[in-house]
Structure 1
Amino acid sequence: MAVSIDELPSHIVLEILTSGRLSAADLVCLELASSIFGGSQGLYPLKFRSLADLAAFQLCVSHSVYAPMSFETRKELFDRCGGNWKRVLRFLQSVEQASDIVKTSAGNQMQIKAGRYHTLLVSNSSVYSCGSSLCGVLGQGSEMTQCGSFSRISFPPSSPVVQVSASHNHAAFVTLSGEVFTCGDNSSFCCGHKDTGRPIFRPRLVEALKGISCKQVAAGLSFTMFLTREGHVYTCGTNTHGQLGHGDTMDRPMPKLVELLESVGSIVQISAGPSYSIAVAHDGTVYSFGSGTNFCLGHGEQRNEHQPRAILSFRRKGIHVVRVSAGDEHVVALDSCGYVYTWGKGYCGALGHGDEIEKTTPGIVSSLKNHLAVQVCASKRKTYVLVDTGSVYAFGWMAFGSLGFTDRGASDKVTRPRILDSLRGHYISQICTGLYHTVVITNRGQIFGFGDNERAQLGLDSLRGCLEPTEIFVDEMMDNAVADKANV
């Protein structure tokens, strides 16, 4: 006998709401559509506005970003969200998606990552690349020197890819099962393979990590970081400045466990700069190691650190960091209340404080205090901040138009965060930037790029550059979508 959802006990309805992967937007729609979800149903009527609100609260409590937060931090986030649990949930889910896989309204799962002169795209577990194929970084084979549009990279059928990272001359890929593949220039051991005599032109399984399940990779300049599902960090490659974190400057040809991070608890995120590394711990502590040039380590000095060292200014202020992006000469961080911090060189206004003065330790970007940031992205003298409303703020050096401001010259400076008007009509879910190009994904699965395209790094083979966001179409993805519809 069919039973209407209106006839189900409210605790069963609540269990249904919290057992799946509903988004904050889904809960808002349900709340508006039916009194079952919009009413309190006698459940904690003074504390929660509706059943959907209670479901949002329970989803927040079990969320990986929210769980380790202190009571004070949770209260501050709740207040910043206007006492609305659905907005808290939107913030948490947006932080997760922006640094991982975007689930689009069309049902696609996507991720975009920009290297120096190339771009990698994950769509429904398939990987596409475009741009300059320096040393095989595109993974398309030795015959490919440049790819003018996004082309699919071949992986074993049993290895759907869920996360990628791109550097100047090598790339790394994590599969659903936790395996890691790499390609590119391995002369510095950064790909984690014994063969260093010639470039690796197609993604190859990192045998040294067999049996070790990974969830994230971060490719630096001639070195690589690997984060396991257990929260452990492995590194390999060049170690001139101590960027591998083993307490010395010896290069490592194979991925080696960073034992000095074992005592600090689980690591939840990693980021690799040109010659320095950053690791964010479960409790919100940020550890940095490697080259101290440009004050990128955040310790107030330019001394190299051969082993992980906590950034004390965050700890002293009780700031719980959730994400960090390591740029060429500066760093940007996001805390669990949606505040943004920057440090390092202030060239061209890349720190967002209205000047070009360096910051030796993290400083809050005050003009963004009224916004809930969900993603931060740093590159060559420019910074992007994505907020929970889907808008993007940018600051730093325009450089070939890579900030996307159509009313500014191709070499202008923007020293304070400014909303990217050219993207206002879209809800942005993820953003990434290379040396002089930038690519975004919308919540509908559209891809837009702007900046330099001299090496086809935007996947727009008919243009040399874009001063404003231009939609990028991936032919093979479109063909697959048509085929899927035909099979329905």
Structure 2
Amino acid sequence: MGEFEAADLGDFVMRAGIGDGGTVDCVATIIGSWIDPLVSALLFFSSVDRVGDERRERSLCIEFHCKMVPDLTRVHTEYSAPIILLIHTARGTARSMQCPMDAAASGTSPVMQFHGIVDEPPSHSSPLHTALERSQRHCYGHETPGEFPLAVSPSIATCTFFSKPANFEPNFALSLPEVAAFDMCHKRPMVKLMAQQEREQLKQRCGGSWKLVFKYIVARERNYSRIVAGPGHSIVVTTKGDAYSFGANCWGQLGLGDTEDRFKPCLIRSLQGIKITQAAVGSRQTMLVSDTGSVYAFGKGSFVWEELSDAADHITTPKIVESLKGVFVVQAAIGGYFSAFLSREGQVYTISWGRTERLGHSSDPSDVEPRLLSGPLEGVLVAQISAGNCYLLMLVYQPTGMSVYSVGCGLGGKLGHGCKNNKGTPKLIEHFLTLSFNPVSVAAGTWHAAALGDDGRVCTWGWGHTGCLGHGDEEYRVLPTVVQGLSNVKAVHVSTGEYTTFVVSDNGDTYSFGSAESLNIGFQEDEEAADDADFSTPSLVESLKVLNDKAVQISTTNSSYWLNSEMGYPHTFALMESGKLYAFGGGIKGQLGVKLSEGQERAQNPERVPIDLC
């Protein structure tokens, strides 16, 4: 499973709630920093008791903690990570189990101990002990957020225990993590709707393990776009899968059936009953992806409009993209000159403009069908796609680590290959190996790019105009370069715009650098001076810190088409751990979700958007 810095694991919690009919409805909250899902999630299951010939299922709730040994600087999680297991029965009582730590880390005996509490009616359950209760934490990302107090004495177990056969269905030979990973994977619609043969093929492509399949799924879901600050309009997707839109609507890009601008979030009612998981926006268009793999498009000109619009030049209500019906799409991305789609099988399809060759593959310029990117991507799993103005980044999953491929226009070095040449087919960015940098997320800005590493470092490359690369100058970089100004920050999220970059740290602080022209960088207070202000090194966004809430995701306008009468100035969203959404920057078309004062064009400080994403 690889090694991790002791500080990386910290304290994290995975929780499962009791569902209907004796099932376990799993929801996970990772607290602290990025943690390898192989170590984290895989411990939710229902225990099975047999009384004679009767098979009786009893729901359990497991809370899984990992506390690293303080004096160990590096810990191999396969053998020596101490784990605390807290097991809660449906009746509200609890039991803990203990199995030995490895000899290298402990002198405990190799005898497994069970400390059981006899099941009692709820009225006889032991009261909670205040001294043992954890501080309550908000379960961000679950449609019914709640708190889970603890009232048991935990015991110690080791990861080696979980490598043994667990004797659980569907395969009694699978280890407990494999059983749990199998369960977590099959709760995802993308796996649930697969044929058995397709599931097995996905498992083999991921390395032959359900843990690795789950790791791949988590890597992909981590990068879903639920808040999108477009060039003039905005899209927000709630945990329940509802889609809201607001802002400029001159081409029907809000999907509300008309072309009137909106200054507050409006539910796209024509999609009620359809669960939306991800959104993508362009200069005048929007795409939404559902949990069943369908793509809905509306607005004007996103290279699928030829099949959708008939005689009309724009679409005001969502229409399904028929040419993608044979593809289960999990992510969509819109660039300045192309659209890209990621399938559940980890394959990438593109539709591009017809001037010369299409992005990533050669085809007739009149061909408007989505085409599969193959060549260097043959046989690999793509976990994320990110679109810039005229180029595409692809995060490729491998059991041993991630890698990044790029394709398209190379001006300014934004493809990351050490030159400014264009690439007609995807090419591996090899420099990450030189940096010993394992990317877990990529962000393609309009003219520059960024990558987040599993160790919390951030790399940037491409055009450095206004200091958007964060290296203290405005020079371009043709190779990924670590942002030294973030050396004391452990980053967990990165977002790029036209000439701006945002980084969120593991403690919820937000840093930004680049152009402050529209006040969308978060810390320029003088509106008159903002037009000429650039920040070439990372600075803490104090206006978000004073909200006493932790940022989890940032989206900033990523387009060169914002400055016109249709769009207004670019803007930025900050999604907080509490589920609250804040916006700042340009807002004359309603893209902030709040109406500004008379004569005001930009919001200097974060404005609360009247919508809760939880």
For residue 27 of structure 2, what is the aligned residue in structure 1?
Answer: 21
Q: 2:377·2:426 contact (CA, 8 Å) conserved in 1?
A: no
Where do 5+ consecutive residues of structure 2 fail to align? 1-13, 18-23, 33-39, 41-61, 67-83, 88-95, 107-153, 164-175, 186-202, 205-215, 563-569
Q: 1:334·1:375 contact (CA, 8 Å) conserved in 2?
A: yes
Q: 2:525·2:604 contact (CA, 8 Å) conserved in 1?
A: no
Identical-residue share of aligned pairs (%): 28
Q: CA deviation at 1:319?
A: 2.9
For residue 467 of structure 1, what is the aligned residue in structure 2?
Answer: 604
For residue 404 of structure 1, what is the aligned residue in structure 2?
Answer: 522
Is 1:419 matched with 2:476?
no
- In the aligned structure 2, how far is the partner of 1:190 from the partner of 1:134? 19
Q: Residues 51, 100 of structure 1: CA spacing in aligned structure 2 closer, same or farther, 3 A cutoff?
A: farther
The code of the aligned residue for 2:469 comes to L
The code of the aligned residue for 1:323 comes to S
After superposition, residues 329-408 of structure 1 pair within 5 angstroms as 329-407=447-525
- In the aligned structure 1, how far is the partner of 2:383 from the partner of 2:223? 11
For residue 246 of structure 1, what is the aligned residue in structure 2?
Answer: 361
Q: 1:126·1:160 contact (CA, 8 Å) conserved in 2?
A: yes
After superposition, residues 136-215 of structure 1 pair within 5 angstroms as 136-141=252-257, 143-186=258-301, 189-191=303-305, 193=307, 195=309, 197=311, 198-215=313-330
Q: 2:405·2:426 contact (CA, 8 Å) conserved in 1?
A: yes
For residue 588 of structure 2, what is the aligned residue in structure 1?
Answer: 454
Q: CA deviation at 1:300?
A: 2.4
- In the aligned structure 1, how far is the partner of 2:279 from the partner of 2:596? 26
Q: Residues 240, 378 of structure 1: CA spacing in aligned structure 2 closer, same or farther, 3 A cutoff?
A: farther
Q: CA deviation at 1:99?
A: 2.4
3-state SS in 2 of match to 1:254: coil
TM-superposition CA deviations, 1:15-54 (whole Å, max 9, x none): 979994332349999769xx86499934326659964886
Q: 2:513·2:538 contact (CA, 8 Å) conserved in 1?
A: yes
Q: What is the TM-score normalised by the length of structure 1?
A: 0.78
Which one of 444, 458, 463 corresponds to residue 578 of structure 2? 444
Is 1:99 matched with 2:236?
no
Q: CA deviation at 1:194?
A: 5.1
The code of the aligned residue for 2:28 comes to L
Q: Residues 229, 191 of structure 1: CA spacing in aligned structure 2 closer, same or farther, 3 A cutoff?
A: farther
Is 1:267 matched with 2:273?
no
TM-superposition CA deviations, 1:339-381 (whole Å, max 9, x none): 1111111111100001111111111111212322111111111
3-state SS in 1 of match to 2:307: coil
Q: Residues 56, 397 of structure 1: CA spacing in aligned structure 2 closer, same or farther, 3 A cutoff?
A: farther
RMSD: 3.7
- In the aligned structure 1, how far is the partner of 2:244 from the partner of 2:25? 33
Q: 1:243·1:291 contact (CA, 8 Å) conserved in 2?
A: no
Aligned residues: 428
Which one of 243, 265, 284 corresponds to residue 127 of structure 1? 243
Q: CA deviation at 1:266?
A: 0.6
Which one of 433, 444, 455 corresponds to residue 326 of structure 1? 444
Q: Residues 260, 191 of structure 1: CA spacing in aligned structure 2 closer, same or farther, 3 A cutoff?
A: farther
Q: CA deviation at 1:158?
A: 4.0
- Answer 1 or 2: which has greater helix percent: 1
- In the aligned structure 1, how far is the partner of 2:251 from the partner of 2:551? 32
3-state SS in 2 of match to 1:208: helix
Q: What is the TM-score normalised by the length of structure 2?
A: 0.63
Q: CA deviation at 1:242?
A: 5.0
Q: 2:220·2:383 contact (CA, 8 Å) conserved in 1?
A: no
- In the aligned structure 1, how far is the partner of 2:217 from the partner of 2:426? 29
Is 1:44 matched with 2:101?
yes
The code of the aligned residue for 2:381 comes to S
3-state SS in 2 of match to 1:135: coil
Q: Residues 97, 177 of structure 1: CA spacing in aligned structure 2 closer, same or farther, 3 A cutoff?
A: closer
TM-superposition CA deviations, 1:91-123 (whole Å, max 9, x none): x9997776227xxxxxxxxx2111111110011
For residue 20 of structure 2, what is the aligned residue in structure 1?
Answer: none
Q: 1:338·1:371 contact (CA, 8 Å) conserved in 2?
A: yes
Where do 5+ consecutive residues of structure 1 fail to align? 1-13, 69-91, 102-110, 482-488
Q: 1:233·1:261 contact (CA, 8 Å) conserved in 2?
A: no
- In the aligned structure 2, how far is the partner of 1:59 from the partner of 1:420? 40
TM-superposition CA deviations, 1:443-478 (whole Å, max 9, x none): 11111000110111101123432111111113xx69
Q: Residues 394, 276 of structure 1: CA spacing in aligned structure 2 closer, same or farther, 3 A cutoff?
A: same
Q: CA deviation at 1:406?
A: 4.3
- In the aligned structure 2, how far is the partner of 1:151 from the partner of 1:389? 32
Which one of 551, 564, 578 corresponds to residue 428 of structure 1? 551
Q: 1:241·1:305 contact (CA, 8 Å) conserved in 2?
A: no
- In the aligned structure 2, how far is the partner of 1:309 from the partner of 1:247? 16
Q: 1:150·1:459 contact (CA, 8 Å) conserved in 2?
A: yes
- In the aligned structure 2, how far is the partner of 1:238 from the partner of 1:363? 31
- In the aligned structure 2, how far is the partner of 1:336 from the partner of 1:328? 24
Q: CA deviation at 1:237?
A: 3.3
3-state SS in 2 of match to 1:253: coil
Q: 2:376·2:427 contact (CA, 8 Å) conserved in 1?
A: no
- In the aligned structure 2, how far is the partner of 1:288 from the partner of 1:182? 25
Q: Residues 50, 339 of structure 1: CA spacing in aligned structure 2 closer, same or farther, 3 A cutoff?
A: farther
Q: 2:276·2:290 contact (CA, 8 Å) conserved in 1?
A: yes
3-state SS in 1 of match to 2:27: coil
- In the aligned structure 2, how far is the partner of 1:386 from the partner of 1:59? 30
Q: CA deviation at 1:235?
A: 1.0
The code of the aligned residue for 2:502 comes to Y
